[in-house]
Amino acid sequence: MTSAERTTKAPWSAWWRRWPRWVAWATTLWGLLYAGFGLACAMSGTRLLHHGGDSGAAGLGWAVASVGGLAASVGGAVVRYGPRPALRVLLWLVCALAGITAFSLLMDVITLMFGQVVDSRASAANRALAAVGAVLLAATARSGRLPAGAGAGAPSAAPPSAAPPSAAPPSAAPRFVRLAVWAGTLAFVPYAAMKSVWALGGTFAGITGEEMLAVSERNGASGMFLTLESWGLDPTTLLAVLGVFLLWGLARPWGQVFPRWTLFLRGRRVPRWLPLAPALLGAATLAPYGVVGVGYLTLATSGAVTMRRGDFHSLGDALLVSWVGMIAFAVHGIALTIAARSYWLRTRPACR
């Protein structure tokens, strides 16, 4: 089959393979959009940080506009001059800034799923836009690492006789990665047990399941959340199970091929982005959230900082529950980072 025939039969696939040619344009457009969003928030006084009752500094909109303007400028330079080394450094720098801004996006998604509302719409929109930008900036920076002529705006210089890359055969992760996966799995066992005890009406850390359900209702939990709780199923426990399933899929060969029960996809390769997208989102949220939380709890346990007990009857109960949750998030997030990197390396197309 000729190249023209393949393009005719699968235009979307052919367009997607040419991503190094258009991703710099997409990054430039995103930078302009993000800069406009930041200017609109700054001019209207909209706050983009939300922590409980405090909505953060109103001046963050100017910082967002600056990041967007820098991204648009660098993206435009890549379109004109190609992904030169100095421009790649700037791309990775802006990518890091966008990644920091997108922190806790996963928490917004979970809150929207089970609470039907987010703490701050502007803050959630800022994180979502920043996450999209981080992906585009990283892709633009990576486009410069492709063979000569395959970069943004440049025609392919591959010789006609060169065979297209072939997918690597399914393989298991190295032993170190599998140990990290086991650690990430076991870290969620105490968390799932604690949540299940409350969902089944038991008592943990001095608070009963009925009290936790009342707290969820008071905090605006959705009907789906309350229904699952009434059935003895905690929604966050179900999410933890999905997180563990994703973790093992990244480490085992079956995570690279669709299983038999997927009728029309049986035996086909899983697109790399399908497990990597949620894995990177989870790792970027859970790992820093858990690590920072463990550090804060260490200070609170030693008495260096004061921690509020919230809905719990004593500070000791609040610390116990917080330790169970933060250790689970930190260890699972780190394991997810290690497994995602291993999956990325093991599934890279290899030239024949």
Predicted structure pTM score: 0.75
In a domain, 87, yes or no: yes
In a domain, 315, yes or no: yes
| Phi then psi dihedrals of residue 13, to 5 deg | -65, -40
Decide: helix, strand or coil at residue 75: helix
In a domain, 352, yes or no: no
Clarify whether residues 203 and 118 are in a common domain.
Answer: no
Clarify whether residues 198 and 270 are in a common domain.
Answer: yes
Across 94-108, 232-246, 269-283, 300-314, least confident range: 94-108
In this structure, are residues 317 and 266 in contact, taking their beta carbons and an 8 Å threshold? Answer: no
In a domain, 162, yes or no: no
Residue ranges in the chain assigned as alpha helix (H)? 3-9, 11-17, 19-44, 60-81, 85-101, 105-115, 121-143, 175-199, 209-218, 223-230, 235-251, 273-302, 315-346
Non-local (6+) Cβ contacts of 212 within 8 A are: 198
In this structure, are residues 104 and 136 in contact, taking their beta carbons and an 8 Å threshold? Answer: no
- The length of the chain is 352
Among 143, 161, 186, residue at a domain's last position: 143
| Phi then psi dihedrals of residue 201, to 5 deg | 90, 10
Other C-beta atoms closer than 10 Å to the C-beta of 182 total 14
Clarify whether residues 135 and 180 are in a common domain.
Answer: no
Confidence band for 161, pLDDT divided at 50, 70 and 90: very low
Confidence band for 233, pLDDT divided at 50, 70 and 90: confident
Clarify whether residues 227 and 333 are in a common domain.
Answer: yes
Structural domains of the chain, count: 2
Confidence band for 147, pLDDT divided at 50, 70 and 90: very low
CA geometry: angle 104, 106, 111, nearest 5 deg: 100
Q: How far apart are CA 260 and CA 317, in angstroms?
A: 46
Clarify whether residues 123 and 201 are in a common domain.
Answer: no
Clarify whether residues 183 and 269 are in a common domain.
Answer: yes
Clarify whether residues 211 and 318 are in a common domain.
Answer: yes
Pick from 2-11, 25-34, 147-156 the range whose average pLDDT is largest.
25-34
> Can you give the pLDDT at residue 157?
44
Among 143, 166, 195, residue at a domain's last position: 143
Clarify whether residues 254 and 208 are in a common domain.
Answer: yes
Confidence band for 154, pLDDT divided at 50, 70 and 90: very low
In a domain, 223, yes or no: yes
In this structure, are residues 237 and 199 in contact, taking their beta carbons and an 8 Å threshold? Answer: yes
Q: What confidence tens digit (pLDDT) does each residue in 164-174 have?
A: 556 678 889 99
DSSP 299-330: HHHHTSS----TTSSSHHHHHHHHHHHHHHHH
In a domain, 179, yes or no: yes
> Can you give the pLDDT at residue 343?
94
Indicate the helix (H) or strand (E) that contains 203: strand 203-204
Clarify whether residues 131 and 76 are in a common domain.
Answer: yes
Clarify whether residues 251 and 337 are in a common domain.
Answer: yes
Q: How far apart are CA 276 and CA 284, in angstroms?
A: 12
The pLDDT of 304-322, averaged and rounded, is 89
Clarify whether residues 298 and 226 are in a common domain.
Answer: yes
Among 127, 143, 159, residue at a domain's last position: 143
Distance of CA 304 to the CA centre of its chain: 32
In a domain, 320, yes or no: yes
In a domain, 7, yes or no: no
Q: Containing domain of residue 45, as a range?
A: 17-143
Q: What confidence tens digit (pLDDT) does each residue in 72-114 have?
A: 999 999 988 888 888 999 999 998 888 888 877 777 777 776 6
Non-local (6+) Cβ contacts of 86 within 8 A are: none
Clarify whether residues 118 and 248 are in a common domain.
Answer: no
